[in-house]
Structures are given as structure tokens and as C-alpha cells.
């Protein structure tokens, strides 16, 4: 038992050293850093630094929300990422893949497989391109395309509150959601 423990300790030690040394190894390597293409919008939905480290967490969270509960807010959706970050590939198609593509270039560099695009389309949505160019429809200000409940007319509100599935008590949450949608 004791020598098992000792072995585990040694293993853990080796692991820690490897992890600590890895930045040195990477810095030293001759693999060129990827050139990350510029996105269409002015600013990402979150801090660039945050996104570099945590985009997978953000997308994963949104994935489960959308898949399981049908929550389809734009902000953290994969579609939104692609709409903004797709660039022309050599074949002239817009995509986040391709050697110089936003996702692939960096993932190749970090040698992490992207599993998203075996199922998801890697190209922007049809009209997304246009929307992005016009700055007032910047996806990071998606809130513009939605009306708040408070903006509804009296008649509509009454109609809503009478209907089976909608209660206006949602307003507070929506406000928060709207705020979060209207840019950083």
C-alpha cells in the first residue's frame, strides 16, 4: 500500500513538472503562431482574453441550454460566433474552417480537435453577412431586434397575459437578458 502511494506521489510530481514546463516548451517550439483573422463586429460578446481561454465553456453552456430547453439567445450561440468570425477560404467560401480560418488555425496550432463541425455548418447563415456589415445590426447588439414587453401596447399586453402560456412576470429577467444582449 505504501509503495503504491509513493508511486502516485511520484507520478503526480512528474505531471506537475510537465505542466509547469509546458509554456517553455511551447514558447520554444518552431511552430508558427496562428494569425487569428479579424472578426466582422467591433467587439466580441465577451472579453477577448476571456474568450481565448473559456470559449469552450461558454459554448458548452449555451449548447445545453439550447438543446435541452430551447433557449436560443444569440449572444453565446455558435451561429453567432460563425456569423461574425467566418472569413473567406481559398475556395472563396465563408467559413471558420480552412488553414487560415478562425477556428481551425488556432485549433491546429494547439492541436485540439474541433468536434463541432462534423455536425454543425461552418459557414455563416445566409443573411448574416449583410446584417453584420450594417453596424446597427451588429450581432453584439442583438437586443435591437427584439421588443421588450414594456414596449408592447396595452392591448397586446392584455392579450398576452390572458393567453395560456405567457406571463408578463418574465419582464424582469428579460430586462436583464436584453441588457446583456445590448453590447458590452
Place of cell 511551447: 26
Among 34, 109, 177, 183, binds another protein (CB under 8 A): 177
**CB of residue 108 vs another protein: minimum separation in angstroms?**
18
Q: Interaction with another protein in 121-150: which residues (CB under 8 A)?
A: 121, 125-126, 145-149
Contact letters for another protein, residues 105-124 (x by CB under 8 A): -------------xxxx---
Place of cell 465553456: 57
Enumerate residues 57-96 that contact another protein by CB under 8 A. Answer: 63, 65, 67-74, 79
Binding mask 33-62 for another protein (x = CB under 8 A): ------------------------------
Phi first, then psi: give them for residue 136, nearest 5 degrees: -70, -15
Distance between terminal CA atoms of the chain? 55
163 binds another protein (CB under 8 A): yes
User: In sequence order, what DSSP letters do the residues of 64-112 get, joined into one string?
Assistant: HHHHHH----STT-HHHHHHHH-EE-TTS-EES-STTSHHHHHHHHHT-
The three grid cell numbers given for residue 169, joined into one nine-digit string: 412576470
**Residue 30 or residue 118: which is nearer to another protein going by CB?**
118
Amino acid at each position: 500500500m505504501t509503495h503504491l502511494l509513493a508511486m502516485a506521489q511520484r507520478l503526480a510530481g512528474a505531471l506537475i513538472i510537465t505542466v509547469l514546463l509546458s509554456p517553455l516548451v511551447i514558447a520554444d517550439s518552431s511552430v508558427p503562431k496562428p494569425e487569428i483573422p479579424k472578426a466582422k463586429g467591433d467587439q466580441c460578446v465577451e472579453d477577448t482574453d476571456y474568450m481565448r481561454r473559456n470559449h469552450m465553456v461558454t459554448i458548452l453552456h449555451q449548447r445545453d441550454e439550447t438543446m435541452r430547453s430551447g433557449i436560443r439567445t444569440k449572444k453565446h450561440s455558435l451561429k453567432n460566433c460563425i456569423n461574425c468570425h467566418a472569413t473567406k477560404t481559398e475556395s472563396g467560401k465563408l467559413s471558420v474552417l480552412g488553414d487560415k480560418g478562425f477556428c481551425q488555425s488556432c485549433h491546429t496550432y494547439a492541436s485540439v480537435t474541433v468536434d463541432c463541425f462534423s455536425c454543425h455548418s461552418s459557414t455563416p447563415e445566409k443573411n448574416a453577412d449583410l446584417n453584420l456589415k450594417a453596424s446597427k445590426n451588429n450581432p453584439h447588439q442583438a437586443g435591437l431586434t427584439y421588443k421588450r414587453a414594456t414596449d408592447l401596447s396595452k392591448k397586446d399586453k392584455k392579450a398576452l397575459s390572458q393567453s395560456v402560456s405567457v406571463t408578463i412576470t418574465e419582464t424582469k429577467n428579460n430586462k436583464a437578458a436584453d441588457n446583456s444582449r445590448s453590447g458590452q
